[in-house]
Structure 1
Amino acid sequence: MCAVERILSPGELLDARHEVVPFHGRVRESAAVARWRDGAAPAALLLLHGPSGVGKTRLADRFADDVVRVVDDADLVPWRELVRLLGEPVGRARVLLVARRAGWWWSALRQRAGDLDYAATELALTPCPEEHAASFASACAHFADFLGRPRPEVPTPAAGTFHDLHLAALAAVHGSSADDPVELVRWLSDTDPAAPATRRLAEDVLAVTLLDDRIEPERTPDALETLLRAAERWPHALRRAERLFAADPGLVALVGAAPLTVLAERPEPARAVARQVFDDPRFHGDALPAVLTRTLLHDHARSARKPELAELHGTLGARAALAALREEALEAARTEVALYRELVQDDPGEYRSALADAVGDLGLRLIAVGRDGAALAASEEAVALCREVAADDQECTPQLAAALDRLALGRAALCRRDAALAAVSRAALLYQELHRRNPALFRLDFAKVTHHLAVRLFEVDRQVEAGDAARWAVLRWRQVADADPRYEAEFARTLTSVAALLSAFGLPDDAASAARESITVLRRLASANPRDFEPELAAALAHLGAVLHRSGRRVDALAASREAVGLWRAVGGAGLAAALGEQVDLLAGPERVAAAAEAVELLRPLAIRSPLEHQVDFAVARSRLARLLFDVDPVGALRIAREELAERRRVPRQVLVSGGGKLAVAWRGLSDALARARHGEPALAFAERVADLWRDLVGRHRGASVGYPVAVHRTAELLRANGNPEALSRARRAVLAWRLTRTPDELAAEFRYADALSLYARLCAQAGEELDRALPAAHRAVLVLRDGRAAPDRLARAVEVVDAVVRAHDDPQAARARTRAAPRP
């Protein structure tokens, strides 16, 4: 019997939190949850779902502790809050969600959780009729003992869930003969007229009250939510809810997404509330609009013509994609494409263009689920279809140009840079001709594709042409903004993007010019609309500071950076931390450390609340602070470094691609600082993290083809410095990484490849192993450095390695002769 300090009302006695009736049964399900909790996955998510009253909360509470975080009524929690919770760094993460149903809200969350590297699964709790007799007897005994009443001797009633059994047991203890669900709720309302203690009881009381058609449900948010939750179990409550929302669809504004799902899954009320749901910004990114669209589609399926069905599947795919329902969006896109293929067979001229668009959308859906190869194939098909359409009808040339531009993006994502350039070049030529014929209509498209062309040219190291294309992009965007001031903001953003591009590829003067023009435009916009454009102005100023710093103009850079920081302090927002981070390298002494420390403290709560957006920036800021502190507070620096190492960060794929490079650079800097301070173990740990990051980015990040072998080489150096025998195998891996990620022509002029060859050969000589491989490696290193006119001391060290390998050989004279006779590669 539960020890309670006060007398509980009948409604409170039924509350699972008081556990007047102890938990029992559910042996199989308890074992399943235990296996999930104790599984090997570093981060695991479990949805425990089933009808109201089936015992979900009681079961979940048995596992709630410091490891397992339980979220009850999870389907009522906004998805952004659930994602925030999943992203919080909690070590070995176990999150147990409790909800009445699974469905698309869970599918969307499961797929978002996958981005955070959670292993997601679900467990359905169903009624257990075989346990009802024991449960009813136990409830009668405990309620009677708690209330000091005799234990009733009555047969086990027919009941759907444990909650229904416990309510019947409580009534029996009080001497009531009620056994019908409606009679039991009425008995409870008469016995305990106070507000119900649980959500389930509130729903039942409201449902029974509304059996009287003369009573109108209240229209407050709480009352409407209770009505909709009751509608899941009480048919008459569902009918009342349908009539209420059909008569006044504006009530949608008072209710959250989860309760509205019961209406969204039924055709007639779905039609009534659809427009309000689609227009309500609260539901953007939620599964509810997609659920509504699915219901409307299924309702139309019986009478709609094939073209209408294809269009509806396209709409469903778009709304599902916005809600992170990627698998469902892909299925809808495939159905849309299949329908249009059938239509094309009957009438190619009418539907081939629509098929091309649908195949293009299918490519986007495939990208979202990580099937880049299949996505590229879809983009290729979309272009081929558009070519056929444009050949028959020149009015469809814009569609072909757009498809080529999208194809270029897909090829670039797979690091097929030459092919990407070919596609965007063709798109640019088409838009150029379209612009010549109709400047007003195609001015914007021509400006955009010119910018894309500049990016692709830079990626294949055609810097002169790329610089020219970037300048043309600025000119054409300027014409767009002059012709239509509505595009001034996008013009400013493009200028900032072009400035970043020019700066990254070694054109600092052109970059600074573009950045300054962006700031000029943003100052004008901010004077008219400070709320919307002052943050963008602050970001542009910070970027100008970074560009000027890279070009060696420190004084001007610091002035721009200080203005950016001041403006961010005035407007607020996460940009202040980024601006302080950019400013750190422009400052000196205590001011420098203070800026780095402030950036960390600003990002700490943001990384907890919005990990997808800020966790990488927080790690970069913390690594930067630790690196700087080694000069003034070595103990504090080491503590921060160890905290960063201990952090088990789950970086989703899209965040890894966008931020993995800067995180790798930050960790490399911290690793070097630790090594200089003779903290070999953490220095090596960070270096290995850097290597892992770059390895995961190969094929996704431009810098990974160099970053990965350089990082592996660095781990070999640190292992050697620590006297670890694993250094040789790591040095061998570094050489292999260079050969796998760069072409022979690129390696012929790569001094860092030569360093990797020399280190491998030196370690072979020291270990007396693999000398027949070491000798040509050491010789190759000398040739690369000599042909590249490396510094004399660097070349001399490489020659020393050749001598060391020769001396370690069983037959030094033969080894020397073989080296001299070795052909040049």
Structure 2
Amino acid sequence: MLVPAAVAAAAAWALVTDDKPVWTVVAGVAAAVVGAFAPSVLEWVRIARQRRERRDRAVAGALVAELPESVVWLLRPQAAVVGFVGRGWLLAALDRWCADPDASVVRLLVGAGGVGKTRLGRHFAGRLTGWECWPVAPGGEATVAGQLETGDRPGRLLLTVDYAETRDPQALAHLLCIAQRAGGVRVLLLARSAGLWWSSLSASYPPQAHLVDALTLPANVIEVPARIEDYTPQQILAEAIAAFAARLRRRPAGDVPLGGLVPDVPVLRLHAQALLAVLGGPRGDDRYDVLAEVLGHEARYWRHRARRDGLPGAGEPHADAVLRRLVAVAALLGADNREQAMELVRRVPGLGGAQPEVVNGYADWLYGLYPAAGTGDGLGTLQPDLLAENLAVAVLSESPPAERSRILQGLAPGQAVQALTVLSRARSHQPDAAEMIDVALAADLPVMTEAVLQVGLQFPGMLASRAVTLLVTAELDPGWVQRTARRVPYPSIEFGQIAVALTTHALTAPSAETESNDRASLLALHALRLAEVGRRAEALEASQEAVDLYRELVDGNRDAYLPDLATSVNNHAVRLAEVGRRAEALEAGQEAVDLYRELVDGNRDAYLPDLAMSVGNHAVGLAEVGRRAEALEVSQEAVDVRRELVDGNRDAYLPDLAMSVNNHAVRLAEVGRRAEALEVSQEAVDLYRELVDGNRDAYLPDLATSVNNHANRLAEVGRQAEALEAGQEAVDLYRELVDGNRDAYLPDLAMSVNNHAVRLAEVGRRAEALEVSQEAVDLRRELVDGNRDAYLPNLAASVNNHAVRLAEVGRRAEALEASQEAVDVRRELVDGNRDAYLPALATSLWNVGYVARILEETSEQILDAVAEGVRYFHELAATEPQAFTARRDAAASTLTDLRNSAVNQHPKLTPPGSPHADEAASDTA
């Protein structure tokens, strides 16, 4: 009886442990006692085995024994488990693109994460007959460009570049240019957006900037929507469930609810929900995170690999947490080589003090988990991206502050870029991502700031402003601060505030460099960046100090420092003009021109661009003090010199020519040559549109200025409807700029709003005109409160115009009050500078009569005011007949009309026309 008992005990132990060697012992013992006890024992063993097999099948079903090791692998585009559906119109558009020999070489597909861009690109490449497709690996742009240059390629070639926004911009721009010249090549780019990274791509490749601009046009961008035409989310989900069930050879775990799905849910989330329906788990209502649930299933794969690789404690709960963190940190940071991968392991909470052999084991585990494509030492990480972003943000959010810092400090530049990229992308779908961006920036501010300068254009308004907040108060290495300040792109809407924070830090830190030449250079840069962000008074102070230091340096070594002095004096003239000190600005501008003429006499090729810049600025200064005929002559010289420069190098000097042409149109209009002014103004707008297509970040302010001025030119020749349309565009552009930087662009918005009110009135939309005119007055009163000298002339213009708008809607008392205010302000301005402001005063006096006539109110005081205006116009027309003869005659006609109305005659009144505040930009070196 003891032997059967032993057999039963052994069998029971085998059933509990599922230990195959024990079953071998049981079988041996059973064979020895097969006699009298054989039937009962064998039956008992058979029943036990059946139970074990049923249990094994259940466990196998729960663990999905037929799955590939990684469940997320099934969601990757390369797996293509679910059939490709829809996108017919997109595929047709891409087919036409490849078939058209005259089409642009480039198409950019953009869409949010998870909408299926990569799958679409792969599907298109696979169905394109007669073409060979080369996917361009990250970092492989130069190699592919070299093959195209040598002709080592098939006759018709499609290049696909995924994650285009993350590629090195110079290498990508170079590849596009080579593809354009090669013939028979098409380049399909894929990215999440076509933001500033795309519109400013040409700035990274000056040798062929014009060609890159022509390739990166908005017309070459195709948006991939989340919604797939002709397929409902329910259909996509049902088909995906069937595909995953067939691939895994199992049925969905119960009925899958197909209702309540919004039409624009990304296809990746639908596929993830379908995969969960087959694997088991929540069904996908809004109360749980589909991606987190998929990662929960993927954790079994991590555990399995850890057991197989013999990692310490594999399978224990605490070990599972370590594995999860390790996958998250790898997704967040990546690693370019084995050494970085080892360091990455040490960053993970719980592994910081691990022995080298343990660290090495975990690194091996990471490399084996998601093998990277190619033969390099780079570390492959969790994919698709949405899953990686979800996990990275979750693990960082759960970690204590000290552990977060350990993860994020001392990163290699590429890792810092990847961390900010992952977190910034996650911000659209992970609520905690914004806070984690702040954590990352604060963890290692110098490294992260340099990463922001690389990746910031992909995420406008997201990273740069956060970095500035930290830079203002941080303790930083002075050498790093100065080097980085000089590397910040100029001009830049996105990075200007970073530059100011750095230059401020460099000049005010206790250990700041005190050598005169270094300090002068920093001050000049500081003034430039302060002005860029609208801090004009501070910019003037810094600029004056820079000029003073350079004068001292020139006294000691004229040959070495004369170019620097010329540059600083030119810029100082611009700073003076910006705060309203126009007479001083004119004097400084003339000095800059004289210095540059001296330099050009010694080296024309080197200094001709600088002379063109200073001459253009001096023309603006002359116009601002009323010397319009001289201004026009000098402005023409600036345009001529810059056309000469553009003939030699279009890419380098086109922005400068655009500015000179824009300003010259204003000068022509000021002397009454309106038809010529309109033609030149249209050229300026066209040039700036071309530049903005290539680099929106840098040239949007200039386009807004040129469009505003062009609206005025159109109105001056009677094309009011077109003028209104252009004026509205200018207002819209300036509102966009003000949203990004109120201090810098509020004066320009006020100008464009003021002018747009005039345009609305000209087409009879008087109620709207009054509302817009009131906004212009309010904006300019705000500006005058901050800087009276700089903005008082502009306020006078707006008040003058607003008086007319009030009169047009019958608000008598307010109209007369506003009209008188404009006259009073302009008398004050004429007392300070008669030449500059006498035309404006004459117009306001004329305007008094116009307002009075609208209101049918005539008095001796009003007649005297208009008569005074007529006298001033006579004086102005004597010296500048083209500019003022017509206005003199119209004002005289108004005076006659008013006198006739006093004896009950009511002829048609000629309006004065409201002044339009053309504010032409000046060059800054």
Query: For this structure pair, what is the TM-score category when the shorter chain's length is used for normalisation?
Result: 0.3 to 0.5
TM-score of the superposed pair, with normalisation by structure 2 = 0.42
Say which one has the larger Rg.
2
